[in-house]
Homo-oligomer: A and B are copies of this chain.
Amino acid sequence: MIKVGIVGGTGYTGVELLRLLALHPQAEVVAITSRSESGVRLGEMFPNLRGHYDHLAFSVPDVDQLGGCDVVFFATPHGVAHAMAAQLLERGTRVIDLSADFRIRDAREWSRWYGQPHGAPELLPEAVYGLPEVNREQIREARLIAVPGCYPTATQLGLIPLLEQGLVDPLRLIADCKSGVSGAGRGAKVSSLLTEASESLMAYSVKGHRHLPEITQGLCRAAGAPVGLTFVPHLAPMIRGIHATLYATLLDTRTDLQKLYELRYADEPFVDVMPAGSHPETRSVRGANVCRIAVHRPQDGDLAVVLSVIDNLVKGASGQALQNMNIMFGLDERLGLNSPGLLP
């Protein structure tokens, strides 16, 4: 039984980790921390968890207690994992960070986008970017995982088959992405109120969103070359789900794109390439650790249009974090992650 600790379990990635771990046969949550909610039982804060975890309450983060865990997940705002990761790694505890703290390999670049100095640049060399479809072997050996962001997961899985094969112009990529409101977190903000965000759709951060450098870094790696990406995120009136609509200019229109995608992901348990002509719906992955992809070439032209959907809280966060844990601990990668999406 893997002993699991969770730092910062009061947000949506926290409660989603708990929901998924409740079904995991080989892992047990032994500590969950929250400074503000210390002493509160999990079921008081998240009524869906009543009857599960009845022995657990939020506690003040304590490195010694967490250091007794086999693995600690950080479901925290950025900066927190910077401060605690080294101490846990020293104690032999592995760290899976759902925040952005270790996603960007260049500390200065991180600092530019997050508006504060990087708190643990010395850990960057060993941090592994936890996208199993790209880095499975490194994840196996890793002590410190940076779980990819939600937009980056949907966008990278959608574009890397094209970039790895050099089939598209890497300098003219577009990612038009739509996200549910849970992507904005559980903080009390006027813009996330039902009265403001439902029955409406809007773009935001068109000038530049923090996920841009993370996506660009991953796409560069896939392309083996610099990439130019225009990334336009939108807020859609739903709780969960990301729909990435990806545009790439083909250098060669003779390749069978359907086959390319099917081959690239043939052995991937959590990437589902849909039949030619399909349109994946975000609801088909609600609550499920799956990325569904369809690839199109409208009017048989030279523009590839890739549709890629995930649940931002599962394959875009907590499910992917568990997938990493399964790989790190030598378990079947699908353990605890095999539920179908909740539809309707």
Contact = CB atoms under 8 A, between A and B. Distances in A.
Interface of A: 12, 15, 18-19, 22-23, 46-52, 172, 174, 176, 178, 180-182, 186-190, 192-204, 206-208, 228, 230-232, 234, 236-241, 243, 245, 247, 249, 272, 274, 277, 279-288, 290, 292, 296, 298-299, 301, 303, 305, 307, 309, 313, 338-344
A208 B298 CA distance: 7
B230 A301 contact: yes
Nearest to A195: B344
A288 B199 contact: no
B22 A340 contact: yes
5 contacts: A188-B188, A200-B284, A202-B282, A203-B279, A239-B344
Contacts of A18: 340
A260 to B, nearest CB: 17
What is the copy number of this chain in the assembly? Answer: 4
A23 B339 contact: yes
B200 A238 contact: yes
Contacts of A199: 199, 238-241, 283, 286
Contact of A201 (B51, B178, B277, B298): B178
A207 B22 contact: no
A280 B340 CA distance: 26
Contacts of A197: 194
A340 B52 contact: yes
Given A236-B201, A279-B202, A282-B200, A290 B195 contact: no
A19 B202 contact: no
A209 to B, nearest CB: 10
Contact of A239 (B19, B189, B195): B195
B239 A238 contact: no
A342 B48 contact: yes
Given A181-B193, A199-B238, A281-B200, A51 B298 contact: no
A201 B344 contact: no
Given A48-B288, A186-B190, A12 B178 contact: no
A51 B290 contact: yes
Given A192-B193, A200-B238, A241-B200, A19 B182 contact: no
Nearest to A344: B195
Lowest 6 CB-CB distances: which A-B pairs, in order? A200-B283, A48-B341, A47-B284, A48-B343, A188-B188, A202-B281
Contacts of A237: 194, 236-238
A153 B77 CA distance: 42
B307 A206 contact: yes
